[in-house]
Amino acid sequence: MIDAGAHLESLLNGIPYARFLGVRAELAGDEMTAILPYADKLIGNPLLPALHGGVTGAFMELTAMAQLSISERRDSLPRPIGVTVEYLRSGKPLATYARAHVKKVGRRIANVSVEAWQEARSAPIATLHAHFLLAETGA
């Protein structure tokens, strides 16, 4: 049986953008918390300063893909086919955390939601709702 923690680490190390961002994750049972450590390169608006929205969105998308890969015990990454991000407040120059919830998994499509926060989970900075393709259509 594959160790979920090793699978998760291998998965994140295999994604160049995840390595660039410094994304890491902690696993407690089947619940994963993704962590985006703060780095100056992640700032989009230096006047506030605030995290770049693209970094926040990509971090949440990576979180959704990793959670889906772990919960469904998949070796390949699912392909995003529809992603909606809601930015709720500016991300501060702090570490950011995210958790994904797999809402539904069908034969070919999965629905996942993600919430990202910094200082308190009760005050999210952004949410994501996404649909992923699990299997290619046709033969």
What are the structural domain ranges in the chain? 4-133
CATH architecture of 4-133: Roll (3.10)
- Residue 128's nearest CA partner among 78, 58, 70, 36 is 58
pLDDT of residue 46: 92
d(CA 123, CA 103): 21
Stretches in the chain below the pLDDT threshold 50:
1, 137-139
pLDDT of residue 138: 47
Tokens encoding 75? 């070796």
- The pTM for the full model equals 0.91
Instruction: Measure Cα distances from 22 to 12, 37, 76, 103 in Å.
Output: 9, 7, 21, 27
Q: How many residues does the chain have?
A: 139
